[in-house]
Structure 1
């Protein structure tokens, strides 16, 4: 069995009891639908034709039995409609949760190549139709098979020749349905891709709305959205056209069948080869025969929609995390903080140029090291390799003498704190965002971390203090305030290795000096790596490492490097002139 089919079926496993009940009700629904016309035939042919003294009471008895069946039919229909839909919704929820958990495992390399809007579409829109397929798919198949088979047997028993005429239409209907189902599937796949483009455009435009407005480029974004929207509408048009032709053709075939039954059935009555009660029952059974065909038409639509979404869902789920725990990976306790790069090389996927080549560097535990150099030289990349956000192309990185690839990711990253250049705060309160560094921290510990990051005073000036909602991505705060909250988050984590990627770049002079002193206090007995463009912020570093295209060009203290008159001195003097 195809692995994707196995995966598709596996989502039924937690709900097999509910699924069995749903199928049992579907079976009862089919049986009742077939029995009711037989009750009509019994009344019209046996009780009304050649009526006798107790015919009326027998009619009431048969009617009471049919009424009981109708009540049972309603109860089963309600169960199937409610519980069946809930089963589908829960399975859909399971899939969405699994996909989201999988997305959390994928590395930066994956997200470098993906667009957020497309991923959002696969996590939401693509899975929506699967709830209907999971519920109605097996149910429609079972009901269709039972009703079709039962109706066929009854029709053959009533009039074999008329039944054969009806069945001559079915191969043509099947070929027609198959052809237009394929066209619908192709159009639907394109439509799913196009709605992903729209989500991508909306996410990109709204996330950058301040840039849009600052350049008065609203009309540019509107045109970009209009193009994406028009492409989506064209794809929907193709899909609706195929669906309309498909649906219209199937309805036309069913009407032709009805006409054929009227014509040939009427002729059979005139030739006395069929009785009127039999023709009435035949008509009722033709309705039952056509209803499974309509169900199969609906199933074909659900299948195309659901499997198109499932394929896009599986495309992401089948992406293997390129950075994960090695077999038998060791759990790292509290690290001392010694970091070693041994002939480390790195290049991004599909990029032939190496960002780092045979770089060797040792940072002692507790050392305060600054990494400087021209933009794009690989400073951030170098530090991103330590927590294994990216995997080295060659060489080895050691933490406390242990290859980081032999450590569990969770324990490795638990020992490393990072304040990135691109600050990200979550929608919620100040308290929530600082506590993200340690979700089990008490309120007092959060406040203490904020004080160390010199954030406490401005937080207390907010309308609700630590319980103030800061908006999406902290939009209600200034750049410096956001930076200090992100620093407080790392203070709360309190790791032995700290990486600051331009951590003070958004601060004013007063805030920068305050945070700088906090960082220096925090660096005691902790390994601290500071990436800096503004060289004035790293003058107190124990060692400054200068990166160039050739690797480490020079290293030493601020005074030593100035006295040497090399790359660092040149960069420093250039900044003094600005």
Structure 2
């Protein structure tokens, strides 16, 4: 029997959608979905001896709603409805376009009958959708628009029956004059069904456009409800794994290997069961300082990532105009120029109509007559031309219209030639504004990108590799620039031309105009754009990966040559390039198919519409001038529609680049401005005079309660002018402590005070102004030596920089260089400095700030002993003579002999402190044991002597492993429960899709095997335990 429902809540599941985290909590009254034999899912209520019929009816209704939604969203039913819609549109379009108001009655009845039958199917589909989604249907614009379009189409169908053509009821009334010359009256017929049918076709076309996105929205709901059939993207899971903070490359490679073994494939989707099997293995390789719950928290948005919609045409346009929004004047002037340019085509069509109807003759009569004047009896041609200004009134009396054909001819010719002037001027103007706007937008994007990246926290650079960031600036911005040109030339100008062209066509010939606009709308929004977008995004990811591989190979070229790794690396790179080639072919092929599809379909459309116009001329509905004018307009308007295909191709090919940049840049600058503004309002921290004090400082990389803190209750005092060394085994928290002192991380508890003043209460900038840092790899930037030193304080003079160089003892070797302080360093460097020389230049950069606190992060670990000794001596002298507090994090214990204070850290806490002499003579000193181990490892390879400290550490490590197993088991259980809870776009759960986990209905889970598996793996690891290395000399 299933357990009795309780009143407790299942822990909230968090989902990430559109960049915003949303959470939901599932009450126990939500039921579980399980598969049935019908292929759908049903809700199985918990059996009870005294079941209340009302809840049972409610659960049955929920199950019915879910089944209905899955039915109407199924592939077969959806494409059946789409096929019916297209047949309905195409049939009515042909009936309207190839007939006139006089003979439409022959086909109107049949068309009405089929449309009535089709509308019944539409109504059933919409009734089931509304009943299933209820109020949720209003949350999506496409779904709401689809409902409105169906209502309007139904009203139009009713109008067709109300205004149905009937030859027995024809009523003709005399209306206004045919033309301004008032020679003939207009005669208006009450047979207007043809026009109502054209309106009906328009709303059917809207439904064809809106129905696919409406289905996409509703599919998410039953996809998340039927959690047992969830499909998770393997690519999304890999991306989430790489972004876990602190994850090593070896761990990532091992996890990906396990993922391939579990799923039996490298790409595609994985099931829920496969995901849980993989997580049981992946948790073994998580970072030691990351709890199981924290590890799984980074994977809980995998579904959101796999279901996240890639940028389409609409997103590209929206983003483009957002980037151009700071150029409002230029954008407004551009729109004016584009509108004038778009009016050229209707003006050309109008003047062609004038020439055809007024200048061209009505008839030309030519005959041969004998020439009686000439004696040779030759024939002479007689030609009589009747122009269209000669007509008859209602009394059959010949009248001459007040226009002169010759004058109309030259006026029309002058106008047709004259429109080329605004065409050329506007074309050049658009070129100017396009170049100006895009160059400014690109400059702003480049500046924003660098600014945002430079303000990112340390965690960001741990999650993103250098190749990915370089690809953003070098490749993605170039592709976005090309796409912006396509937006200007292939979207903005064509769209305005289409709107004005079709608007004139609707005014001139309503039926042809409505049909043309409806067809163009269907054409533009259909086709393989979605597939092409997906291929483009896949190519972008693979391109970034290959770029990172190439950059890494070049950066490690010394290692490659030393170990003769050229051949294996070339083989590996060739395999990556082959994958990239396939992805590029798919991207280019499907992008080209999009344009080919639009071009071919538009060619057919123009041919069909030309035939329709010819029929209307034959029936006398339009004149020859109207025909030539309409054909010209259709030809000119079809060109922008085809050009839109080019835009779709470029947009789809480069949308992934714009999406990556937008995800990083959009909104970030505003946040930076707000943070800087708030920091500027805080008081300035005075310069340190006494000491920097840490009081009960704690820090962890996650806010989870069960996460092990990296720093635990740290208390220390760094007096002014002291040289302090922080030592300890690897992973004990030394670098994290330094990050907190550098304000790279915000502490979770405790205080950091300078002369008794809490640094949190003062401006962060004022604290950083009196702090300097020297890192292990130095950090030389492109530029001269003088520039690199001046980066420490931009306002420094040349004399200040030289003084700092003297203090860092690098002035001597700098002056021996050919160009002295103007020697170029970095990627464009003209000389190669040794490691010690680079570190001294970096030290000079730190000293030019005139800091009160100098932080060293393994600054001498990469140097030889002699160079290291010289730099340590320099640091000790600086601390005493310049009254600078030097805090050095190091694993080279030899550098601590002259330190005023040594802090020994272990497991995130300070376990010992004192001078070198004090710590060496203290009984059972961890520092002394570390030093002794260092001496033993350098003097002899004999490892038979056991170190008591290591035994204690090993015992503590076994306890940690037991806690590790329990933590992993508990976290996996929570993750399984959280996986079942999925939210819609607004972070809300429809009552129809609520689920409740019931262990009895599911049966035993695989998690019961986890502790056995983990214990077995850890017992194997214990046999191979090689004792952690605490330091390196």
In the TM superposition, what is the alpha-carbon distance from 1:411 to its structure 2 partner? 1.5
- 1:546 to 1:265, Cα distance in 2 relative to 1, 3 A: closer
* Aligned equivalent of 2:472: 122
More deviation, 247-256/134-143: 134-143
Matched, 1:554 2:895: no
Distance, in Å, in 1 between the alignment partners of 2:908 and 2:318 is 52
- The alignment status of 1:481 with 2:829, answered yes or no, reads no
- Output one character per residue of 1:437-462: Cα deviation in whole Å (capped at 9) or x when no partner: 12222222222211221212221222
Find the counterpart in structure 2 of residue 15 from structure 1: 327
Q: What residue is the counterpart of 2:801 in the other structure? A: 446
Closer, same or farther in 2 for the Cα pair 1:54/1:314, shift >3 Å?
A: closer
The match for 1:417 is 772
Q: CA deviation at 1:573?
A: 3.6
Q: Deviations over 1:412-459 (max 9, x none)?
A: 111111111122111222111112112222222222211221212221
Indicate the residue corresponding to 1:314 in structure 2.
662
Quote the residue 2:463 is aligned against: 113
Displacement of 1:105 in angstroms is 1.4
State yes or no: 1:344 paired with 2:697: yes
- Whole-angstrom distance in 2 between the partners of 1:269 and 1:338: 96
CA contact (8 A) 2:528 2:594 kept: yes
Match of 1:214 among 551, 557, 562: 562
CA distance in 2, matches of 1:107, 1:494: 25
**Structure 2 residue corresponding to 1:429, chosen from 784, 787, 796:** 784
1:330 matched residue in structure 2: 683
- 2:101 equivalent in structure 1: none
Shifted more, 409-418 versus 212-221: the winner is 212-221
Match runs of 1:383-398 below 5 Å: 383-398=738-753
Question: CA offsets per residue over residues 301-323 of structure 1, 9 Å max, x none?
Answer: 455456544432232235778x9
Instruction: Note closer, same or farther for the CA distance 1:266–1:107 as it changes in structure 2 (3 Å cut).
Output: closer
Aligned counterparts of 1:140 and 1:277: Cα–Cα separation in 2: 26
Partner of 1:458: 813
> Once the two structures are superposed, what CA deviation does each residue of 1:180-233 show, in whole Å capped at 9, x if it has no partner?
222222222222222222332233222222223322223343344334433333
Look up the SS of the partner of 2:859 in the other structure.
coil
**CA displacement 1:153-183 (0-9 Å, x = unmatched):** 3344xxx5x6677678556535xx4242222
String of CA shifts for 1:490-518, please: whole Å, max 9, x gaps: 12122001112233334445544443332
Match of 2:418 among 62, 68, 86: 68
For residue 270 of structure 2, what is the aligned residue in structure 1?
none
How far off is 1:535 after superposition? 2.5
User: For the residues of structure 1 that align with 2:740 and 2:568, how far apart are their CA atoms?
Assistant: 38
The equivalent of 1:41 in structure 2 is: 353
Aligned equivalent of 2:496: 142
Quick one: structure 1 residues 138 and 409, their matched pair in 2 at CA, closer, same or farther if it must change by over 3 Å? farther
Mapped to 2, the partners of 1:502 and 1:170 lie a distance apart of 65
> For 1:550 and 1:381, how far apart are their aligned partners in 2?
9
Asked if 2 retains the 8 angstrom alpha-carbon contact of 1:29 and 1:73, the reply is yes
Aligned residue number for residue 502 of structure 1: 858
Does the Cα contact within 8 Å between 2:786 and 2:821 map onto a contact in 1? yes
Q: Is the 8 A contact 1:184 1:239 kept in 2?
A: yes
SS in 1 for 2:750: strand
**Residue 101 of structure 1 corresponds to which residue in structure 2?**
451
**Alignment of 1:284 onto 2:632:** yes
Asked whether the equivalents of residues 424 and 473 of structure 1 are also in contact (C-alpha less than 8 Å), the reply is no
State the superposition RMSD in angstroms: 3.2
Matches within 5 A, 1:288-303: 288-301=636-649, 303=651
Q: Give, in angstroms, the shift of residue 12 of structure 1.
A: 3.4
Q: Against the structure 1 CA distance between its residues 9 and 96, is the aligned structure 2 distance closer, same or farther, given a 3 Å change threshold?
A: same
Match of 1:239 in 2: 587
Assess if the C-alpha contact under 8 Å between 1:500 and 1:531 holds in 2: yes
Distance 2:721 2:577 in 1: 55
- CA apart distance, 1:107: 0.8
2:528 to 177, 180, 193: 180
Normalising by structure 2, we get a TM-score of 0.51
Do the aligned partners of residues 173 and 194 (structure 1) sit closer, same or farther apart at CA in structure 2, a change above 3 Å counting? same
Confirm or deny: 8 A CA contact 2:902 2:914 kept in the other structure: yes
Structure 2 CA distance, aligned partners of 1:12 and 1:472?
A: 34
Assess if the C-alpha contact under 8 Å between 2:777 and 2:859 holds in 1: no
**Counterpart for residue 568 of structure 1:** 927
Cα 1:265–1:67 change in 2 (3 A) is closer
In structure 1, what is the Cα distance between the partners aligned to 2:842 and 2:468? 28
SS at match of 1:359: strand
Q: Tell me, in whole angstroms, the C-alpha distance in 2 between the residues paired with 1:275 and 1:6.
A: 43
* Distance in 2 separating the partners of 1:255 and 1:315: 39
What's the counterpart of residue 336 of structure 2?
24
Q: Which runs of 5+ in 1 are unaligned?
A: none
Counterpart contact for 1:483–1:507, Cα < 8 Å: no
TM normalised by structure 1 equals 0.88
> Matched residue of 2:689: which SS?
coil
Q: Shift in Å at residue 278 of structure 1?
A: 4.0
C-alpha distance in 2 between matches for 1:64 and 1:70: 10
**Match of residue 192 from structure 1:** 540
* Cα-to-partner distance string for 1:318-367 (whole Å, 9 max, x where unaligned): 5778x967775432232236222222222335994433222222222332
CA–CA separation in structure 1 for the residues paired with 2:644 and 2:442: 22
1:144/1:295 contact within 8 Å kept: no
Decide whether aligned partners of structure 1 residues 276 and 66 sit closer, same or farther in structure 2, where only a CA change above 3 A counts. closer
> What secondary structure is seen at the aligned counterpart in 2 of 1:13?
coil
1:469 is aligned to 2:829: no
CA distance in 2, matches of 1:509, 1:102: 39
Does the aligned pair in 1 maintain the 2:740–2:747 contact within 8 Å? yes
Q: Find the structure with the greater CA-based Rg.
A: 2
Q: Tell me which residue corresponds to 1:520.
A: 876
- Asked if structure 2 preserves the Cα contact closer than 8 Å seen for 1:123 and 1:313, the reply is no
Whether the aligned pair in 1 keeps the contact of 2:738 and 2:855 (CA below 8 Å) is: yes
Query: Per the alignment, do residues 536 and 253 of structure 1 end up closer, same or farther by CA in structure 2, a change over 3 Å counting?
Result: closer
Question: 2:608 aligned to 260, 263, 266, which one?
Answer: 260
Deviation of the 1:549 alpha carbon: 2.9
C-alpha distance in 1 between matches for 2:521 and 2:873: 83
